Structure 1
Amino acid sequence: MFSISDFFIRRPVFATVCSTVVALLGVVCILILPISQYPEIAPPTVSVISNYVGANAEVVESTVTNILERELNGIEGLRYIASTSGNDGTSNIVLTFNLGRNKDIAAVDVQNRVATVTSRLPGVVQQTGVRVNKSSSGFIFAIGVYAEDGPDGQPRYDDLYLSNYADLYIVDVLRRIQGVSNVEIFGNRQYAMRIWLDPGRLAARGLVAQDVINALREQNVQVGVGQIGQQPAATDQLYQLSIAASGRLTTEAEFGAIVLRAEEGDLVRLRDVGRVELGAENYASVLRFNGRRSIGLGVSQLPDANALEVARAVKRALANLAPDFPPGIRYDIAFDTTTFIEEGAREVVLSLLIAVVLVVIILYVFLQDWRSTLIPALVIPIALVGTFLFVRLLNFNINTLTLFGLTLASGLVVDDAIVIVEDIARRIREERIPPLQAAIDAMNQLVGAVIATSLVLIAVFVPVAFFPGIVGQLYRQFALTISFAVTISTFNAITFTPTLSALLLRSDQVLPDAGFFRWVNRT
């Protein structure tokens, strides 16, 4: 009777190379696989954010949010829509899609739908733009940026300065780091020219707030005013000069000098009906870090990024930027979720190593021969490491559940090897036949049973991967990790294990029969 194992047993180099390639591919995949604490189980979400300056919640709801919602409803894979309209003029629509929907494709579909109704939105909203963002599952890293106290006991910089400095010199650097999805500023303060109007002065001069807005639009513009001497020109024109006009206002005095009305030599300027000051665009949020007014930076990662590598890269970037900070500006880590990932992974890996060591010890206790024990001991790491090849092919990541699955699989992947090694060793010892022939005879009888046993184990775990909803999403990686580990162990059992047995086992081996091993054998 011929079995597939005969081909590998008679070609030990080829069998060894096959198992080595599987192990090496697994090692390569370990190095490039993303690492996270848990699998991605949250449904993909896309947010649509817009701002209608000066409008209250009711106006925003009727002129912006409702229009966008009606157009976005019915997108492929959409689960539900949630929206909020605020009195500060903001409209935020969150679209939640079904599990398994590609977040990038969903964002493109949303962007296309938004583009079709942009012309129906108010002009102010069109000017500020409608942003479509892929929502992240959470921040992996948070940083607090604060100012130390000066000689007077007050912070040397206010939160407006801190926010502007972080936006210009820190955020862009962090966003360029590979694996970073977004960096969000909390307690954000953007510099803006704030204009405070006096209703009494406006009424006395026959003006309203809209007159001020119109004057700002007309007199605070940056335009191209052309060139002097541009062709076609006279033959004696020797130079061509570009003209730069300073149309964009930058100081409080320049804004205060804006003319609101000019009639019969009477100029009404902005400073006559109000005051102008440089301040923050929005004071709606305040952030405190360790009791200090500060700003926060939240770092989120890309779905396929390695959280540990991203966190290390962010820390290195901050360490490189810190020497160039203005005197008195400091940063500190507010929270770092990768600490839990590292500790969790370390504990699971330690449990995995302990499980493997215990399996090897138990094998030696019952096989009572170092050669017979060495064969399953070599098969275990090949099966476990090679499993990461399938983890990579299925776009999984290294997380607590995949490592937990490998820990449980460490006892399953050795079953077939134990049966095969023990049967080959028995044939060599009792029937007195050469190891090569013993391996061939044993596999002729066992290959069907080995495959059947593995199929039964796989049939137990694979259905778990098809559970619907979040439960199936959570345990899919766990179940398939065990299934692929068993699959690789079966491949090793019919190729590598009998090959090693034919090479390592000897006919003159003597089992110990004293002390502890005598008690084990009698028991």
Structure 2
Amino acid sequence: MRNISAWSIRNPVPPIVLFIALTIAGFVSFARMDVNNDPDIDFPIAIVVISQPGAAPTELETQVTQRVESAVRALQGIDQIESTVQEGSSQTVIQLDIGTPIDRAVQDVREAVNQIRGDLPDGILEPQVFRANTTDNDIASFTAITTDMTVEELSWYVDNAVAKELLSVPGLTAVDRIGGVNREIRIVLDPTKVQSYGLTASQVNQQLRQVNLNAAGGRAEISGTEQSVRVLGNAANAYQLGQTQIAIGGGRTVRLADIADVRDAYAEVRNSAEWNGKQVLAFDIKRGKGASDVSVFAEAQEKLKELQTRNPKVQFEVLFNNTEYAKDQYESALWALIEGAALAVVVVFLFLRDWRATLISALAIPLSAIPTFFFMELLGFNLNQMTLLALSLVAGVLVDDAIVEIENIVRHMRMGKTAYQASIDAADEIGVAVVATTMSIVAVFLPVGMMPGIAGQFFKNFGLTVVAAVLMSLAVARLLTPMIAAYFLKAKGHATHGEGWLMDQYMKVLHWTLRHRWSAVVGYLASLGLTLFMFMTLPQTFQPNQDQDAVTASIEMVPGTTLEQTKVVVDRVRDLLAKQEGVENTYSRAFVGNGHAGRTGFGRAFSFR
């Protein structure tokens, strides 16, 4: 590393080509990187959900939950098991040891549950085993507005046309409709007629299940070719279903429509959404892991605009957008990086008082920061609050090595040397010191990037980004800065160096400190003690409080609460939020049954400024 600067000065083409390539790669990587609020994190958590509609919590605890816990307790890497049982649903959360391969652990849990499948009650639905998903949050909510459709038609339009169109967006994984109704073919039996034919409701249900289905029928040879045969039994509509013949014994049958009212209707309403107190049909969108919040939202808006063009009867409006905070944070971080770089350049000029030397030092910032994006992409990072914080933090550090190099070169030039010779001598003179300075920063932040645990997954983005940036600044300082100085600076002969009013004041303080050495030691001990005291007294939290111009209130009701009862409480909370100063809009959602959070009665109210 000591002689590499001299080689770069004598052979300027390879370093120039190298950094041009790295800069282009950095621009390309920056354009392709996703913008998110937080990095994608893999929590070492597996979740088992087993549902049995209508089952009491006590029954589920003894017949399902305890057996699931016993089955998974013997697996390796289990740190903690926590179960939640409510009416009709059992959820077991399995927290794994830090460092346990999550994919393998989820597969082991799934196999353990499958082994006890025969011991579980017959009425349960298929057990669901999955990993905790940190990206499974709503990134935006929209509402569909129309004056030419019924609620049923608009609900089916959102479920079919809108959902299908939005799911074609790369990275968009789910479209959840809130409000509206679900289509349902209802068969309402007439008890008198059913009893008069000697039938029961279970017999009618069993016959419909046997007849109303599509099934494979094997293969047949037709005209010398083999064709697959299917048995089509599903009714095309409610009328056709009503014409189904129900056997009543003795070789006799009766039409379903003669003993029941068959209608194409909608299911019981299980959720509702309101915007500023007015009921709306809303739908939320979610992104998948590895996708960009901002890009997914932007492409979803484009898809909705295309739908509006094809069907002007239905208009879409944004109710709330969680990507605005990520976008604002991204823009503010970039501006902070630019402002920090500009201030660093100003400080360099004030001390060197040479515009050529200042320009060479300033080049170190973009030539170090831009190629860093290339290495960030290689590491699988995206543009989130941790990586942007790292780049903002090192904006001034990136120019440090270049300042040391250029200042020493200027000092040698003022000794009467040419710019070419001064660059060679000065760079070789402090090469080891520059490398040692950079490696000390790497020694601090590299362990931060290697931290274990969930916090380590956040700081991996931060620490390794800082390491990549400062290593790039070292390469710039050792390869480019001396080479550019050798050909760009102008020697002006012998001159004084390191003088001026500011330097004189510094030298006075330095001389006083050397005469009173214990003052520095006492000052160091006092600052160390104060640092430890503040460290112990400051509150600790996983993430700092963030002001995203929104307030969310979650309401949990007791088991058995109906949608109407939940909605009354949600409306009261919404009204309280709406009365607060600065609130512009409110968006509330009410659920019943399991809801989004798997609770018996659940609601949310949002307010926005």
TM-score of the aligned structures, taking structure 2 as reference length: 0.71
Which residue identity does 1:135 align to in structure 2? N
Distance 1:183 1:79 in 2: 34
Unaligned stretches of 5+ in structure 2? 506-609
User: Cα offset for 1:115?
Assistant: 5.8
CA, structure 1 residues 522+492, in 2 after alignment: closer, same or farther (shift >3 Å)? same
CA contact (8 A) 2:413 2:494 kept: no
User: Cα offset for 1:72?
Assistant: 5.2
Which residue identity does 2:447 align to in structure 1? P
Deviation readout 1:327-368 (Å, 9 max, x if unpaired)? 2x3221122122111111111111111111111011111101
CA contact (8 A) 2:414 2:495 kept: no
Q: Percent identity?
A: 29
Matching of residue 135 in structure 1 with residue 128 in structure 2: no
User: Cα offset for 1:44?
Assistant: 5.5
CA, structure 1 residues 334+196, in 2 after alignment: closer, same or farther (shift >3 Å)? same
Partner residue, 1:464: 448
Partner residue, 1:318: 304
Which residue identity does 1:453 align to in structure 2? T
Which residue identity does 1:486 align to in structure 2? V
In the comparison of the two structures, how many residue pairs are matched?
Answer: 504
CA, structure 1 residues 368+509, in 2 after alignment: closer, same or farther (shift >3 Å)? farther
Selected match of 1:164 from 156, 160, 168: 156
CA, structure 1 residues 46+194, in 2 after alignment: closer, same or farther (shift >3 Å)? farther
Selected match of 1:477 from 461, 483, 489: 461
Matching of residue 349 in structure 1 with residue 347 in structure 2: no
Which residue identity does 1:32 align to in structure 2? R
CA contact (8 A) 2:35 2:327 kept: no
Selected match of 2:360 from 363, 375, 382: 375
Secondary structure of residue in 1 paired with 2:396: helix
Matching of residue 446 in structure 1 with residue 430 in structure 2: yes
User: Cα offset for 1:170?
Assistant: 1.4
CA contact (8 A) 1:44 1:135 kept: no
Partner residue, 1:386: 371
Partner residue, 2:288: 302
Partner residue, 2:25: 25
Secondary structure of residue in 2 paired with 1:495: helix
Distance 2:488 2:193 in 1: 101
Distance 2:461 2:78 in 1: 25
Which residue identity does 2:430 align to in structure 1? L
Distance 1:42 1:242 in 2: 45
Partner residue, 1:288: 274
Alignment of 1:201-280 (within 5 A): 207-223=199-215, 230=222, 247-264=233-250, 267=253, 270-271=256-257, 274-280=260-266
Which residue identity does 2:14 align to in structure 1? F
Deviation readout 1:308-340 (Å, 9 max, x if unpaired)? 22211111111111123372x322112212211
User: Cα offset for 1:134?
Assistant: 6.6
Distance 1:285 1:486 in 2: 53
Matching of residue 489 in structure 1 with residue 477 in structure 2: no
Which residue identity does 1:157 align to in structure 2? T
Unaligned stretches of 5+ in structure 1? 151-155, 233-238
Distance 1:224 1:105 in 2: 35
Alignment of 1:145-156 (within 5 A): 145-149=143-147, 156=149
Alignment of 1:63-102 (within 5 A): 80=80, 87=87
User: Relative contact order (C-alpha < 8 Å, sep 6+): which is higher?
Assistant: 1
Distance 2:24 2:290 in 1: 22
CA contact (8 A) 1:368 1:512 kept: no
Secondary structure of residue in 1 paired with 2:169: coil
Matching of residue 404 in structure 1 with residue 389 in structure 2: yes
Distance 1:243 1:140 in 2: 44
Task: Compare 190-199 and 342-351 and name the one that shifted more.
Answer: 190-199
User: Cα offset for 1:9?
Assistant: 2.1
CA contact (8 A) 1:41 1:474 kept: yes
Selected match of 1:190 from 158, 176, 182: 182
Which residue identity does 1:325 align to in structure 2? N
TM-score of the aligned structures, taking structure 1 as reference length: 0.81
CA, structure 1 residues 509+67, in 2 after alignment: closer, same or farther (shift >3 Å)? farther
Distance 2:434 2:31 in 1: 32
Matching of residue 421 in structure 1 with residue 406 in structure 2: yes
